[in-house]
Amino acid sequence: MGNATAAWIEVCKLDEIPPSQARTVNAGDTVIAVFRLTDDRVKAIENRCPHKHGPLAEGIISGDDILCPLHNWRIHLDDGVVAAPDEGCVKTYPVKVEDGQVFLSL
């Protein structure tokens, strides 16, 4: 992250996120979903589907995509872009794992 202002915030241990699942982090009024992928990489996006505001953290992870639990919209976790034929975008957050600890940057 080249951004000088980026400050890493400790969130939780990687082990505290169930494998191939997610958990939510509250930052004020914003809820962020932190996903632990099959290969233990982590991704973070806003926990709010652009369609009907479904809680993305409860969806099924498919590769690097998340499927919204309400109406199965498919959202790419890297850039937050919704897959066709649907349209939209979700805010993404920088996230990293160091020594089994998950860090997030707002």
Partner 1 sequence: MLKKKLVMIGNGMAGVRAIEEILQANPDMFDITIFGAEKYPNYNRIMLSPVLAGDTTVEDIILNDEQWYADNGITLHMGKRIKEIQRGYKKVIAEDGTEAEYDNLIIATGSDPFIIPVPGHDKDGVMAFRDIDDCDKMFAAAKKYKKAAVIGGGLLGLEAAKGLLNLGMEATVIHDQATLMNMQLDSVAGEMLRADLEEQGMHFKVSTLTTEVMGDKRVSGLKFKDGSSLDCDLLIMAVGIRPNMALAKDSGIYCNRGIVVNDYMQTVTDPAIYSVGECAEHRGIAYGLVAPLFEQAKVLAYQITGQGLKAYQGSVVSTKLKVSGVDVFSAGDFMGGPGADVLELMDRVGGVYKKLVLEDDKIKGVVMFGDTADGPTFFQWMQDGKDVSEQRSSLLFSASGLGDSGHSGIDLVSAMADDTIVCGCNGVSKKDVVDAIMTKGLTTRKEVTSCTKAAGSCGGCADLVDQLLASTLGTAFVESDHEPICGCTDLNHEQVKEQIKTKKLTMVREVMNVLEWKGEGCQVCRPAINYYIGMLFPEDSEDDRSSRIANEKMHANIQKDGTFSVIPRIYGGETTPDDLIRIATVAKKYDVPTVKITGGQRIDLLGVKKEDLTAMWKDLDMPSGFAYGKALRTVKTCVGSKWCRFGTQDSTSLGIHLEKRLDRIWFPAKVKFGVSGCPRNCAEATIKDIGIVGVEGGWEISTGGNGGVHVVATELLCIVETAEEVEEVSKAYLQHYRETGRHNERTAPWQKRVGLDSIKALVVDDLESRKALVARMDAYIATQDQDPWAARVADAEKEQLNKFSEYKRIDIPVRVEA
Residues of this chain that bind partner 1 (CB under 8 A): 5, 7, 9, 11-12, 15-28, 30, 38, 47, 52-55, 57-63, 65, 67, 69-70, 72, 104, 106
Min dist. Cβ of residue 41 to partner 1 (A): 13
Alpha-carbon distances, residue 60 vs 27, 66, 69, 98, 106 (angstroms) = 23, 6, 7, 25, 24
CB of 47 or CB of 80, closer to partner 1: 47
CB of 59 or CB of 80, closer to partner 1: 59
CA distance 104 to 37: 16
CB of 63 or CB of 88, closer to partner 1: 63
Place of tokens 């890297």: 78
Min dist. Cβ of residue 80 to partner 1 (A): 18
CB of 2 or CB of 26, closer to partner 1: 26
3-state helix, strand, coil in the chain (%, to 5): 5, 40, 50
Take residue 14 and report the two structure tokens written for it: 């990687």
